Amino acid sequence: MYVLGDGSRRLAGAEVLVSGLRGTGAQVAAALVLAGTGRVVLHDSGTACTSDRAQQFLLGESDIGQNRAEASQRVLAELNPRVTVSAHTGKLSEDFLTSFQVVVLTESPLEEQLRIGDFCHAHGICFIVADAKGLAGQLFCDFGEHFIINSPAEGNPACVAVQHISQGNPGVVTYKRAENSPHDLFCDGTLVMFSGVEGMTELNGRDPIPVRVLDDFRLEICDTSSFSPYIRGGLVSQADAEQVLELARSLWMQQGSLDEDLVRAFASVSAGDLCPIASIIGALAAQEVLKAITGKFLPLDQWLYLDALECLALEGAATLTEEDCAPRGSRYDGQIAIFGAAFQERLAQQKYLVVGAGAIGCELLKNFAMMGLAAGPDGDLIVTDMDIVALSNLHRQFLYRSVDISEPKSVVAAAAVKHMNPEIMVTAHQNQVGPATEMLYGDEFFQHLDGVASAVDTLEARTYLERRCSRCRTPLLDSGTEGPRGNVLVMVPFLTKPHGPAGASEESSFPSCTVHNFPHTIQHTLQWALDEFEGLFQLPMEYVNAFMGDPAFLEQLPAKKALQILEQVRDRLRERPRDWWDCVRWARRHWQSCYHDGIAQLLHFYPPEHEASPGVPFWSGDKTCPHPLTFDPDNDTHMEYVLAAARLFAQVYKVSPCSDRVAAQTLLRSMVLPPFTPQERLQIITAEEQEEVQAPADHMRRVELTQDLMQQRQELLADEEVQMPLMEPIRFEKDDNIHVDFITTASNLRAENYGIPPADWLTSKRIAGRIVPAIITTTAAVAGLACLEVYKLVWGCQDLSCYRNSNLFPSCYLLLRFQPPPPHTYWYCGHEWSCWDQLEMQAVRADGQEMTVQEVLDWLQRTYGWTVSVLLCGYTMLYNSEDDEETQAQLLSQKLSETLGHTGEPLRQALELSYVCEEEDAEAEETGPPLICYLP
C-alpha cells in the first residue's frame, strides 16, 4: 500500500491472465498473487520437463510430465488465501479473454501476440508481452487509447519552506530542507508552484514555473525583478544463429547499419534459459500489471529490451564449443546451453554467504537454488538472519507461508530452497554478522568464501559487510530497495572501488525544543506523539513495577532525573482508575493539558506580538505561532484521541474497556474542567542547541516523596485484590491499530495547533513505525540483476568492463546498468598504493608470544623504513611520540592486546591498525594502507 497508494485497493477486484508458465510467467504470477490481485488465471498447454526447473521455481520433481499451469496453480494458491488462482489449459479464445482486465503473454509465438494484442487493444484490455531468451529479454505494453494514470509520481511532491526570494532575473528562491530529506528534492526543469507567500504575492497561484537547481538550498525561477519585495513565508525455441542473422539483415536493409556481432551473440544464446533474466523480466512485467490495475506510476512506453551479453565477453565463454553446451538431460540444461557444463560444475562448488533472509534474501536464495549455486558436494550456501517470520512479510518474502509465522526466517528459507533443489548445500544460521559475532565470522571465515550477498536492511549493517569483505578480499554483492526503487553494487577485490560508507543513519533526530515547542513539519508532531506514547504508557509504568518489586530501585536512580521519576511513580499510583469511565475522564483531562493549556502557557510567555529583539518578531522563520484548541465531542479527531488514549490507559491499569462511543460522548459533554491559569515559573526551552533544562535537585522533596511512596507501597501490598506486577507497560508497536490510532490523532491535533497539514493514518504509521516501503516486483528484479553478476564472479572475471552496477526505477521505467568505478589509488611515503592494499604481519615472536607495540614499530621500520609517530587501533591510542618518556615506555612495552583489553571491546584474532609516519607530511589527506596484525 505504501508503494501503490490508494490504487492498491483496486487489486482485490482485478482479474489477470498469465499465459506461459515457464520461468518468466512463474515470476509474474507469483508477484501478482503476493500483491493481492483478486483473480489470477494461469494458462499453459505444455507439460513440465526437467529443464524447466532451471528457472521455474514453482515446479517440483513430482510435477515433471504434468501440465505447467495446473502444477503451478497448486503452489501459488498457498501463497495468498485472498487470491483466487485457477488454471486454464485450452485455447485463448476471444470469449475467454473478455473477462480479464489485463492479459500477459510469455513464451508466446509472434502470431499469437499479434492476434491477442489486436483483440485486447480493440476491447480496452491492457496487454503485456514478456519474453526471456538466454541472456536477453523484452517487454511490451499496450494499455489502450484511454488509459488514465492517476498518480504518476513515485511519492508525494516535494514541499519545502521558503526562506527568501530575491528580486532579479532570474529570481533566486532559498528554502529550508526538512531533516533527513534527500538531497535531490528538485532537478533542473522541475515545475513548481507557490502558495502562501507574503510580500511577493505575484507568485501565489501562478502557473507552474520551471526551476534550475543551484545547490541543496537554492533554486532559480522566473524573472521576479518587477515583483513586490518578499516578506516571509520487463516459447524458447532453438534457432540457428546464421538464420537469425539473415532475418535481421532482411529487416534492416532500409534501416541503416546492423550490429551483426550483437545479433549473432543473441541468436547463439537464445536457446538457453536463465533464472536471473526470467526474474528481472517477470518482475518488471508484474509491475506493469500493477500499474494497469492501480493507475499508479508511468507505464512502459512501449518496449523494453534488456541484455546481459557482456557475460559472453568473459574469458572462457568465447571459446565454448557446441559440445560444451549440449544438453545433458539435466535441470541445468538451459544454463549449460549458454555457459557450458564445466561452468555448471564450478557453480556447484561455490561457497557463499547470504546475510539477510528478508525480501531480497528470499529472491536471491530462490535464484541460487535454480542456478545450482552450491549444489555440489563441496558447495556451501550459508544464510543467516536473526529475525522471525511476521505476517507483514508475506506480501513480498516469497519463501514464507502463514504457517511459518513466528518461525526463524533463515531456517524456513533454507528448508524452502532445499525443497526447490534438494542438491543445494544450504545451512541456516540465526546470527547477526557484526562486531559481536567476529569470533564466528572472522577473517578466516570470510577468506574461505567465494562471495557474500548482502540483503540487509540497515545502512550500518551494509557498511560493516563492505568493510569486512574489503579487508578479507572477498567479493561482495550489495542489493537494496526502497519502494519501487532498487540498486545493485558489485565489489570485486583489486578490480572495483570499494563501496565506501553507506551514508548517514536513517534514524530521525530532531532538536528537543523543535519537537516540544516549535514544530513546523508533520515529522516533528509525530515524534512528539511517540514521545507522548512512551511517557504516558511505557516508562512510568516500568518505574512503578520496578519500585513495587524492589524499593531499592529508588536508590539507583540517576541524580538528575530522580525527582522527575519519583513524581511520575507517585502520579501513576494516584491516577489508578476504578473503571473504564475513569479512563475516559483521564484522557479528556490530558487532551486539555496538551492541546489547550500547554499552548496557552506557551503563548503566555511568548505572545503573538513578542519580539526576539527589537524589530525582530519572535514568531518568524521556523517558529510558527500556535493557537489553543477547544474540545468538541462531536469532532471525530477529538473523540478518536480520547478513546484511543483511554483504551491504552485502561490496558496499563488492567481495566476492561467499553466500546460505547455514544455513552463516552455523553460523559464528555457533562465534564467541566477548571479554566486555564498560567504558571509564572515554568521554564520553556527556546534555543535548539540548549540541552534540556533540569530543575535543581531538591533533597527534602526527594525524601518526602520517597516516604510517601513507601507508605503507598505498603498499603498496596496489603491489599489482597492487588495483583503483581501492578501495571502493564506498553511499547509502541506499529502493527497495533490502537497504538497507531493514538499516534495519528495525537500528532494531527498537535499539527492543528501549529497550522501544519495533517497526515492520514497510513502515512502516520509509516513515519512513526519507520517503515521502509517494499514490493515484490522490485526485490525480484534487483535479485535477478545481482545474480547476473554472480555468473561473472564464478568465472573469476578480471575484466572491469564486464561487470555492472545497476539502478532500477520501475516507477518511471529507468534501468541504468553501468561499469563500476576502478579502485582509488594514492601516494603515501613515496609509493603509490591501491585502496585494496594492506600491510600484513604475524604479530608473533619466536617464542610464540604476542608482540609488543615496540616490536610492531620495529617491524615497520625494518620492512618499510618507516618511523611511526602515532599508532592506533580504531580510536585507541597504542603509541604517540609526543607523550612523555614514562608514558611512551609503558605503551611500548605492552603487548598489543593489553591496551585494547581495557576498552571493553571484544578482542579479535586480527587487529587492524592505522598509523602516521614521520616520513609523510603530517597534513597529508591520505593515510597509509592499514596494517593487519594477526595475533597468536
Catalytic residues: 513
**E strand residue ranges, 323-410:** 351-355, 380-384
Helix (H) or strand (E) holding 458, with range, is none
C-alpha cell at 403: 504457517
* Strand 805-809, strand 814-818: pairing: antiparallel
Phi, psi of 478 (to 5 degrees): -110, 125
Please name which of 359, 465, 476, 372 lies closest in space to residue 426, comparing C-alpha atoms.
372
Is there a contact between 69 and 88 (Cβ–Cβ < 8 Å)? Answer: yes
Q: CB under 8 Å to 361, separation ≥6 — which residues?
A: 354, 355, 383, 385, 409, 413, 453, 455
Query: What is the b/e burial string over 592-620, where b = at least 16 CB atoms within 10 angstroms of the residue's CB?
Result: bebbbbbbebbbebbeeeeeeeeeeebbe
Distance CA 370, CA 35 (A): 23
- Exposed/middle/buried for residue 105 (C-beta within 10 Å: 0-12, 13-18, 19+): buried
Distance CA 847, CA 502 (A): 43
Helix (H) or strand (E) holding 709, with range, is helix 699-718
Coil, strand or helix: which one is 723? Answer: coil
Is there a contact between 145 and 302 (Cβ–Cβ < 8 Å)? Answer: no
Q: Degrees (nearest 5) of the Cα angle 864, 865, 867?
A: 115
Please name which of 434, 440, 496 lies closest in space to residue 467, comparing C-alpha atoms.
434
Distance CA 94, CA 14 (A): 19
Instruction: Please identify which residue in the block is written with the cell numbers 532482411.
Output: 250
Distance CA 455, CA 450 (A): 17
Q: CB under 8 Å to 876, separation ≥6 — which residues?
A: 899, 900, 903
Angle between helix axes 23-35 and 776-795 (nearest 10 degrees) is 140
Q: Which one-letter DSSP state was computed for residue 693?
A: P
- Exposed/middle/buried for residue 129 (C-beta within 10 Å: 0-12, 13-18, 19+): buried
Instruction: Please identify which residue in the block is written with the cell numbers 535477478.
Output: 784
DSSP secondary structure, 402-420, as one string: GGGTTSBHHHHHHHHHHHH
- Exposed/middle/buried for residue 72 (C-beta within 10 Å: 0-12, 13-18, 19+): buried
Measured CA distances, 305 to 149, 301, 678, 810, 813 (Å): 23, 12, 69, 14, 12
* Strand 831-834, strand 825-828: pairing: antiparallel
How long is the chain?
936
Query: What is the b/e burial string over 709-738, where b = at least 16 CB atoms within 10 angstroms of the residue's CB?
Result: beebbeeeeeeeeeeeebbebbebebeeeb
Is there a contact between 23 and 108 (Cβ–Cβ < 8 Å)? Answer: no
| Neighbour tally for 27: CB within 10 Å | 36
β-pair partners for 47:
67
